[in-house]
Amino acid sequence: MQWRKVTLKLYPNAAQAARLDAWTRLHCELYNAALEERIDAWRKAGKSISYFEQQNVLPQVKADRPELNALGSHALQQTLRRLDLAFQSFFRRVKAGQTPGFPRFKAAQRFSGFAYPDPAGWKLMQHGGRGATLRLGSGDTALSIRARGLHRFGAEAKPNDITLTRRNGHWFVSVTLRVPDAACARQRADDQRRGVDFGINDWATFDDGRTIDNPRWLREELPRLAALQRQRARKKKGSLRFKRIGRRIARLHDRIGNLRRDFVHKETTKMVRQCAVLATEQLAPKTMSRSAKGTVEAPGRRVRQKAGLNREILSAAFGMAHPMLAYKAEEAGTRLHLSDTRQLKPSQRCSACGALVPKTLAERMHVCPHCGHVMPRDQNSASVVLIDAHNTHNTPGTGVAARPKPLPRQRGKSRSMTRETPATTPCV
């Protein structure tokens, strides 16, 4: 049994939207009251209140506040559990020496939504195609809301829990599905063995020279985004027009994110459907997009240029592509090989002789002074990780397209530390 998430868009009418907003405000009120109780107990008595203590008080709270009964006991418990998880994260960061970030009170307008942690209190009915109905609550207070969305798992997938979120004036429901292994499997169309290098000029470059263009979603919308931000800067902060333009900016960011997510989903699906072995390098977008500002004692150089590069790195969504490849490769029976970048150095290593050839970021061609091998830099990196995938596993592979056999391991070269997806049986 596998767990998968699918998100549907809700289409409530005016009365239903008002009811959802009212329920969200009640959940926010409960969250803030529980947070205040924890803070006061520690300040006045030095006592820590646990989630179970607050959960046991819920029956009395509902007796005093009858309007909470329509929300459901399990949904209220999940809101208290959400606060408890925030405190757990706070203490974990304190112990790790990180910036702790104490849990804060939430404004009702910024409270994202609420959740039902199990199949009680709601029901999702699919009507064929992309139509569905979400029923919340029971009796006279129940809501039946139209929804739109579709998943590929069929009728065998059983809903387990839901999370309702409000974003830019629209409502969405994220459903966790319990899916049999057979329904999760993806049909593979080919058994290629490919190395791929993710980049900015080209979003992906394969070892055979094929590339995938980078759509640059954010760069295309930057002029429009800058114009809206200038308009908002001329408005009085907190005014109706200020908030109206702020919503337009939020919708534009949401559109960019949707385009990015859709593109990455489609391209990673194509990769795992075509490849029996897919090799790439481990990437750390958080480290790659670190600011060059530096400190007062040691100020950084070329800060504005690095800021632009950071924006392009984050817009390319490398951190989104790898997790998608991981679970889709497992579903398709594809072996996903992630080479250790620090140890292997794919962009600096020659795919023909294995020698290290230092290059600056501006050098886009790989020219090896040892063997004379010339190849585009990104294609060379893709070939290196594919060789590493073959050398670190005794499985049949094509190696580099220009060589009849994979490059043998050189003496004294350390073995690359890799992370592999779990072995699965290929789909037929």
Residue 311: which residues within 8 A CB-CB, separation 6 or more? 218
pTM score of the predicted model: 0.82
CA dist 92 and 273 (Å) reads 40
DSSP state of 294: B
Residue carrying structure tokens 């534009």: 252
Rounded to the nearest 10°, the torsion over CA 38, 41, 42, 44 is 150
Query: Do residues 334 and 270 touch, judged by C-beta distance below 8 A?
Result: no
Instruction: Kindly list the strands in the beta sheet with 131-136, ordered across the sheet, starting from the edge strand earlier in the chain.
Output: 113-116, 158-167, 170-179, 2-11, 143-148, 131-136, 122-126
* Residue at 371: amino acid letter: C
Give pLDDT tens digits along the chain (428 positions): 889 999 999 999 999 999 999 999 999 999 999 999 999 999 999 999 999 999 999 999 999 999 999 999 999 999 999 999 999 999 999 999 988 889 999 999 889 999 999 998 899 988 877 889 999 987 777 899 999 988 888 888 899 999 999 998 899 999 999 998 888 888 888 889 999 999 999 999 999 999 999 999 999 999 999 999 999 999 999 999 999 999 999 999 999 999 999 999 999 999 999 999 999 998 888 888 888 888 777 888 888 888 888 899 999 999 999 999 999 999 898 999 999 888 889 999 999 988 999 988 888 899 999 888 999 999 999 999 999 988 876 443 333 222 333 344 333 333 334 344 444 444 43
CB 341 within 8 A of CB 282: yes
Contact 30, 76 (CB under 8 A): yes
Distance (Å, whole) CA 331 – CA 3: 12
